[in-house]
Amino acid sequence: MFAWTIYISFIGVAWLLTLKSDDAAGARRVALLTSGASLLAALMGAFQYSADSGLVDVANVPWVAHLGIRYHLAVDGISVVLLVLTGLASFVGILFSMNIEKRAKEFFAFYLALIAGVFGVFLSFDLFLLFVFYELAIVPKYFLIAIWGSTRREYAAMKLALYSFVGSAMVLIGLLAAYVVAGGTTFNLIELAKFPFPREFQMWAFPLVFTGFAILAGMWPFHTWAPTGHSAAPTSASMLLAGVIMKLGAYGCLRVAMVLFPLGMSDWAAPFLGLASWREVFGLLAVVGIAYGAMVALVQKDFKFVIGYSSVSHMGFVLLGLMTLSTIGLSGAVLQMFSHGIIAGLLFGVVGRMVYDRTHTRQLDELEGLRLSKSMPFAAVTFVVAGLASMGMPGFSGFVAEFQVLIGAWKSFPTFAVIAGVGVVIGVAYTLRAVHKAFFNDAPEVVAVGGGTAALGGSPKPHNADHDWDDISIPERIGTAILIATTLIVGLYPRVLLDLIVPALNSPLMEKLVKGGAQ
Amino acid sequence: MNYSELFTLLAPETLLVIAALGVLFIDLTTLRGEDIATRMSWGAWLTVGACFASGVAAFMAPTATPAGYLDGMLVLSPLSPWVKAVILLLTGCTAIVSISSRFTEHAGEYFALLILATAGMLFLVSTENLLLIFVALELLSLCLYVMTAFNKRNLQSAEAALKYFLIGGISAAFLLFGFSLVYGVTSELNLAKIAPKLASATPDSLLLVGMLMVVAGFGFKVAAVPFHLWAPDAYEGAPLPSAAFIASGSKVASFFILAKLMMLGFANAGGSGAWMNFSSGWMPMLAVVAGLSVIVGNVAAIAQSSVRRLLAYSAVAHAGYALVGVLANQKSEGLASVIYYVATYAVTSVGIFAVVGAVQDRAGNDKLPAFAGLSKREPVLAFCLMIFLLSLAGIPPLAGFFGKFYLFKSGLLVQGGGPASLGMLWLVVLALAMSAVSLYYYLRVLKEVYVSVPAPDAPALEMPWAAKAVAVVLAFVVLLLGCLPGLLVNQLVAAMQVGAN
């Protein structure tokens, strides 16, 4: 069933290419249909999957026999969680793109191609195949931002493309080297994970591959593509970028770098600058990302940049969780991948689609004068809920995830856990600031009512409480409901996901890892 | 010597030579009074027919020659028909792309030269004798010089040809001098006999000088740094089909013979090009050339505003990548990966030139703005161009990605090496880092094609159906070989295994 997520998306691309180029409504229907179908495929697969069955092959046929490359798709609990996330985020992203008119056919074709690549990565257990899907995602991202984006779109698109490509070049070096060292006969992840790579080899291969993937996960200091990319992208692409693409990176860190090269995380011969291993180095970078992202988000003027930097901060929790190497920390990290995917999608949906597409401004200073809580109550309520989820309020998924990561981190590196805790507090601050400024500012309107002062900072014509903005449309409401329901369900009953994640972490594949690669 | 046997073995080449004379004859007699359009299309289709016939003959011909036949002047292996087929395919595509070109009144002569150059390539593929290698290379090169200069009305074409010719002449001199030194050391011309002679002696300085000159001579042919300076002018100034031909067919033939020469003839004088472990031989020389090509080609391409110059510099970079395969420790894997890479690269290049030609015919130049909004004006061509450029950048699932992957894998593999030994790791790292740079300039072209808005007065593109069909078919080939690389790799590997037994 799961394999159909990929095929359906590709069928959608092919179908879209046959449409007339001015048939925007048709393109939207096709996109909605195919992404709905692939969400359905992912959900059906998830219901059929039982956590006890461990690793289940979906497809396994030779591809390039001469090099031992196979078309090998399989799922375990972690893949299932992320596949469901991808299905949800992409479907809701399409719901939030129902206002695309410009070159709609191409937009959705690139969008679905991107989604196909993401599904593929989460399903691949052959590293060559995984890499192919991973790189497949680069080009659609570039065009989605460069053609349909906003602020500095061409710059942001190129930056994202180059960052991704540099990261994947690093990954490719590591994978090629691992493949050759292991004898050059297989790319099968399970086989390679069993191969005893020499310690000194793992010591350079691990940081190389981990960093290569972590670039896409927004690890500080390689995060700078994220805020610019998220802000420039059209709404649904931001939802995908923050919601799913960043998870590709984190997933690669866990599934490839850490599983293949566990000894790369063991202690160095001598500490360097007070750090004893690559594990501590990346742990440190993760908490710096948490704190730095949160503090920078606190002073942003552009609404989307606030969310962009908050993504960097939240992804820091994922990386920190990975580096704890304990079941609770790792399961927290995977849960955080899911949770942040949903919440970031919601936040970008509100900011990009509901607010920006209607008011045509994202400057918090200008939004202050618009009293959006009155004119757009639905958006305001949604954002408050999403903000609560994002700041880690109990009852939402974000709380369960970050709490687990913090517990795990407390055991492994207490200092980092404290810094991360501070990051959570700052997270509350920037979220409240954004809520206040964008929606609930009671200050008298700065912009005078009337037609004469439109020159203010290039802002749109000043608005009163009664604007001619479209109502929040039905698809937007449906999408919002889906995402809020998901974060609530996971927040109130996290076992729906944990029952999938924890057995996967205790599987033979991850065994070496969870028992502490530190030996 | 048995002439009928020789003729059977040389059937593909003979057919081509007859076809070249035939094209000339028909153009001068029956087509004399016709207009140029008719003569060009007759010439092109005759060329395609000749290539097809020659290709069939190549697969019908015996796939082995008796040991020591003519002292290695003619050596056929199960691999030869495949390489010949690739070259003939490229020639055929070039001929079709030429149909709508109007750079010359001399249709017959142009296509005759094209066919003769192809004959030179086929000879190059089927010989292992230093002397015949040189003769075949000169046959190919002289045709290419003339084809570059063929647009007599265009100063740029003349300048490009003169540069190409002068540098080419010098490099031929180097090559011949190098060959003569190798002959002086080994007193053999046959590659198969040179190899054992080199095994016994430690490489003396005379041999090293000889090999250096050979590397320089071939460095010119494949446009590797520091012998690449003719390439940008030739790519930009030559008539478009000639440029496409220089970028494709001649690359395949030159790389094949270079790989054969180094891996077969000089196999025992390679030394080592591994990091911190250099030892004298041709490997360190070629490794440095490869590293420089990858860096200079990619960095210089960033600054180009003419798409054809950009392609020239990117060709320099690609020559650098392909050399990684020549440096492979495991010969069969190295050779297979080089052939796969160069073949797919050449196919991609012809496709790009077909699209660039269509744009240039309309806009009058090949600067980046001429491509603005191509996706609106001509969506099919724009899509083909995207496939070609992304394949060059090495994005999966296109042929260029698998080609690079296979090359680098061969470059890392060490025969019988311990678990931690990784052959040319430094070169692979360098090449991958630089291929990240290359994405930037390929995306710049694609940005014009897909993102920029066309000028309101931009004329619609008109492209003859045949040239368009070439672009579409080649794009499909690039996609297919990327998704199912086994189609070609299995054939190459199987052919080499049969040849080895």
Please answer yes or no on whether A181 and B425 come within 8 Å at the CB atom.
Answer: no
Task: Give the residue ranges of DSSP H helices in A49-95.
Answer: 77-95
Give, in order, the Cα–Cα distances in Å from B81 to each of A503, B3, B294.
55, 21, 30
Q: Are residues A279 and A355 in the same domain?
A: yes
Q: Which of B401, B422, B489 sits opposite A180 (nearest CB)?
A: B422
Alpha-carbon separation of residue A475 from A13, A28, A108, A136, A517 (angstroms): 22, 12, 16, 29, 47
* Residue A470 CB burial class (10 angstroms; 0-12, 13-18, ≥19): exposed
Co-location of A30 and A99 in the same domain? yes
* For residue B476, pLDDT beyond 90: yes
Predicted local distance difference test score (pLDDT) of residue B201 = 58
pLDDT of B39 strictly over 80: yes
Chain B residues whose CB is inside 8 A of the A16 CB are none
Average pLDDT over every residue of B330-334: 83
Cβ(A30)–Cβ(A59) under 8 Å? no
Would the pLDDT of B460 be above 80?
Answer: no
| Contact: A162, B440; criterion CB under 8 Å | yes
Tell me if B401 and A132 make a contact (CB, 8 A cut-off).
Answer: yes
Nearest to B409 among A131, A165, A180 (CB): A180
Kindly report, residue by residue over A490-505, the tens digit of the pLDDT: 888 888 888 888 888 8
> Using the beta-carbon criterion (under 8 Å), do B485 and A132 form an inter-chain contact?
no
Angle between the N-to-C axes of helices A77-95 and A24-48, in degrees from 0 to 180, rounded to the nearest 10 = 160
Across the interface, whether the CB atoms of B451 and A146 are under 8 A apart is answered: yes
Would you give the end-to-end CA distance of chain B in angstroms? 26
Q: Does A135 touch chain B (CB under 8 A)?
A: yes
Record: contact A64-B412, CB cut-off 8 A: no
Query: B121 with B249: CB under 8 angstroms?
Result: yes
State the best of B333, B450, B472, B483 to mutate against chain A, taking most chain A CBs within 10 Å. Answer: B450
Tell me what percent of the residues of chain B surpass a pLDDT of 90.
47
d(CA B407, CA B392): 14
Residue B200: CB atoms within 10 A of its CB come to 7
What is the enclosing helix (H) or strand (E) of A429?
Answer: helix A414-438
Alpha helices by DSSP H, A241-277: 246-252, 259-260
Whether A454 is covered by a domain: the verdict is: no
| Closest alpha carbon within chain B to A66 | B490
State the pLDDT at residue A460. 47
How many other CB atoms are found less than 10 A from the CB of residue A303? 25
Question: Rounded to an integer, what distance in angstroms lies between the CA atom of residue A464 and that of residue A452?
Answer: 13
State which of A197, A227, A261 marks the end of a domain.
A261
**B79 Cα distance to chain centroid:** 17
Query: What pLDDT does residue B203 have?
Result: 67
Residue B310 has pLDDT above 50, yes or no: yes
The single-letter DSSP state of residue B329 is S
Which of A10, A20, A66 would best serve as a mutation to test chain B binding (most B beta carbons within 10 A)?
Answer: A66
Q: Which chain A residues are within 8 Å of B435, Cβ to Cβ?
A: 169
pLDDT for B122 equals: 94
Same domain, A81 and A143: yes
A497 lies in a domain? yes
Q: pLDDT tens, A328-380?
A: 889 999 999 999 999 999 999 888 888 888 888 888 777 777 777 777 888 88
The whole-number pLDDT of residue B416 equals: 59
Reduced to 3 states (helix: H, G, I; strand: E, B; else coil), residue A117 is: helix
Complex confidence, ipTM = 0.90
User: Could you give the percent of chain B with pLDDT greater than 70?
Assistant: 96
Contacts of A132 in chain B (CB under 8 A): 396-397, 401
Between positions 272 and 291 of A, the ones with CB within 8 A of B are none
Residues A131-184 have pLDDT tens digits of 999 998 888 999 999 888 887 888 888 989 899 999 999 999 999 999 988 888
- The least confident of A432-446, B163-177, B315-329 is A432-446
DSSP assignment of B355-395 equals HHHHHHHHHSS-BGGGGTTHHHH-HHHHHHHHHHHHHHHT-
Q: Is B409 within 8 Å of A184 when comparing Cβ atoms?
A: yes
User: In this complex, is the C-beta atom of A176 within 8 Å of any C-beta atom belonging to chain B?
Assistant: yes
Q: Which of A13, A67, A102, A154 to mutate to test the interface with B (most CBs of B within 10 A)?
A: A67
Whether A268 is covered by a domain: the verdict is no
Q: Convert the pLDDT of each residue in A58-110 to its tens digit.
A: 888 888 888 888 999 999 889 999 999 999 999 999 998 888 888 888 899 99
Query: Considering the domain boundaries, does residue A460 fall inside one?
Result: no
Residues of B in contact with A63 (CB under 8 A): 486
> How far is the C-alpha of A416 from the C-alpha of A424, rounded, in Å?
12
Query: Where in the sequence is the domain holding A370, given as residue range(s)?
Result: 274-448+474-505
Residue to substitute from A16, A106, A176, A201, interface B, most B β-carbons within 10 A? A176
Judge whether residue A203 has pLDDT over 60: yes
Q: What is the mean pLDDT of residues B189-196?
A: 86
Mark yes or no for CB contact B396/A131 under 8 Å: yes
Are both A121 and A228 inside the same structural domain? Answer: yes
Whether the Cβ atoms of residue A118 and residue A85 lie closer than 8 Å to each other? no
Is A510 inside a domain boundary?
A: no
Instruction: Please indicate whether, in this complex, the C-beta atoms of B436 and A169 are within 8 angstroms of each other.
Output: yes
Q: Chain B within 8 Å of A357 (Cβ-Cβ)?
A: no
User: A499: distance to nearest CA of chain B, Å?
Assistant: 35
**Same domain, yes or no, for A218 and A327?**
no
Q: What is the average pLDDT across A379-400?
A: 87
Chain A closest-CA separation from residue B5 CA (Å):
36
DSSP annotation of A102: T
Q: How far apart are CA A490 and CA A238, in angstroms?
A: 23
In the predicted structure, residue B417 carries a pLDDT above the cut 70 = no
- Spatial contact of B454 and B372, defined as CB atoms under 8 Å apart: yes
Angle at B490 between CA B488 and CA B496, to 5 degrees: 105
Please write the tens of the pLDDT for every residue from B79-104. Answer: 889 999 999 999 999 999 998 888 88
pLDDT digits (tens, 9 = 90+) for B138-156: 999 999 999 999 888 888 8
Query: What pLDDT is recorded for position B430?
Result: 92
Q: Which residues in A lie closer than 8 A to residue B486 (C-beta atoms)?
A: 63-66
The mean-pLDDT minimum among B68-77, B274-283, B329-338 falls in: B274-283
CB-based contact A135 B440, cutoff 8 Å? no
- Report angle CA B70, B71, B74 to the nearest 5 degrees: 55
pLDDT at B268: 77
Give the closest residue to B437 by CA, choosing from B309, B294, B336: B294
- A239 and A304 part of one domain: no
- Tracing tokens 């891996």 back to the chain, one arrives at B263
The residue type of A61 is: V
pLDDT for A453: 42
A169 to chain B, closest Cα gap in Å: 6
Mean pLDDT of the region B19-32: 90
How deeply is B354 buried, as exposed, middle or buried, from its count of CB atoms within 10 A (0-12, 13-18, 19+)? buried
Asked if B401 and A143 come within 8 Å (Cβ–Cβ), the reply is no
| Nearest chain A Cα distance for residue B78, angstroms | 18
At A277 the three-state DSSP class reads strand
Domain final residue pick, A226, A261, A296 = A261
Spatial contact of B390 and A139, defined as CB atoms under 8 Å apart: yes
pLDDT given at position A515:
58
Q: Determine the residue of chain B that is closest to A163 in CA distance.
A: B436
Note the pLDDT of residue A334: 93
Task: Verify whether the Cβ–Cβ distance B451 to A143 is below 8 Å.
Answer: yes
Residue A266 lies in a domain: no
**Does A147 sit within 8 Å of B450, measured CB to CB?**
yes
Tell me, yes or no, whether A35 and A156 share the same domain.
Answer: yes
pLDDT band of residue A301 (cuts 50, 70, 90) is confident
The minimal CB distance from B408 to the residues A64, A165, A176 is found for A176
Total domain count for chain A? Answer: 2
In a domain? residue A516: no
CB A163 within 8 A of CB A215: yes
Residue A147 to residue B419, Cβ atoms within 8 A: no
Shortest CA gap B310–chain A (Å): 18
Residue A11 has pLDDT above 70, yes or no: yes
List the one residue out of A180, A254, A192 whose CA is nearest residue A517: A254
**Closest residue in chain B to residue A175, using alpha carbons only:** B409
Amino acid at B277: N
Q: Which of A233, A261, A289 is the last residue of a domain?
A: A261
Q: Kindly identify which residue of chain A lies nearest to residue B431, measuring between CA atoms.
A: A169
Do the Cβ atoms of B84 and B57 come closer than 8 Å?
no
What residues contact residue A386 under an 8 Å CB cut-off, 6+ apart?
A: A343, A346, A347, A350, A483, A484
The pLDDT of residue B418: 57
Q: What average pLDDT does chain B have?
A: 88
CA distance A464 to A497: 45
Contact residues on chain B for A198, CB-CB shorter than 8 A: 419-420
A10 and A136 share one domain: yes
- CA atoms of A175 and B410, how far apart (whole Å): 14
A515 located within any domain: no
How far does B130 lie from chain A, in Å, by closest CA? 33
What tokens appear for A359 in the block?
Answer: 């008011």
Q: Residue B367's beta-bridge partner residues?
A: B306
| Separation of alpha carbons A237 and B94, rounded Å | 41
**Count of C-beta atoms within a 10 Å radius of residue B33:** 7
| pLDDT digits 0-9 by tens, A205-253 | 999 999 999 999 989 889 998 888 888 888 888 888 888 999 999 999 9
Quick check: A21 and B485 CB within 8 A? no
Task: Select from B395, B412, B489 the Cβ nearest to the Cβ of A138.
Answer: B395
Same domain, A356 and A431: yes
For residue A218, which of A174, A248, A175 has the smallest C-alpha distance?
A: A248
Question: Residue for token digits 């439109």?
Answer: A454
Q: Which residues in B lie closer than 8 A to residue A197 (C-beta atoms)?
A: 419
Q: Copy the structure tokens of residue B297.
A: 């080609």
Do A233 and A279 sit in the same domain of this protein? no
CB nearest to A181's CB, from B395, B402, B420: B420
Q: What is the pLDDT of residues A438-479, one digit of tens each?
A: 888 765 555 544 444 444 444 444 444 456 677 788 888 888
**Chain A residues with CB inside 8 Å of B485's CB?**
64
Chain A partners of B482 at a C-beta cutoff of 8 Å?
Answer: none
Q: What is the mean pLDDT of residues A394-402?
A: 88
pLDDT tens per residue across span B355-396: 998 888 888 888 888 888 888 888 888 999 999 999 999 888
What is the nearest CA distance from A196 to chain B, expressed in angstroms?
10
Query: Same domain for A84 and A125?
Result: yes
Residues sharing a CB contact under 8 Å with residue A354, sequence separation 6 or more, in sequence order: A376, A378, A379, A382, A472, A476
Looking at residue B501, its pLDDT comes to: 64
Contact A131 B422 (CB under 8 A): no
Interface test with A, best of B374, B385, B443, B493 (most A CBs within 10 A): B443
Angle of CA points B431, B432, B435, to nearest 5°: 85
The reported pLDDT for the residue numbered A365 is: 78
Q: How far is B491 from chain A (nearest CA, A)?
A: 11
- Quickly state the pLDDT bin for B120 (edges 50, 70, 90): very high
User: Integer distance in angstroms from the first to the last C-alpha of chain A?
Assistant: 39
Please tell me which residue, A452 or B275, carries the higher pLDDT value.
Answer: B275
Average pLDDT, chain A: 85
Kindly state whether residues A171 and A136 are assigned to the same domain: yes
Amino acid at B210: G
Q: How far apart are CA B162 and CA B148, in angstroms?
A: 9
- A69-75 and A267-272 strand pairing: unpaired
Which stretches of A253-376 are DSSP H helices?
259-260, 278-298, 303-324, 327-348, 357-359, 364-368, 372-375
B-facing residues of A in 101-130 (CB < 8 A) are 106, 128
d(CA B428, CA B438): 15
Q: Is B384 exposed, middle or buried (0-12, 13-18, 19+ CB in 10 A)?
A: buried
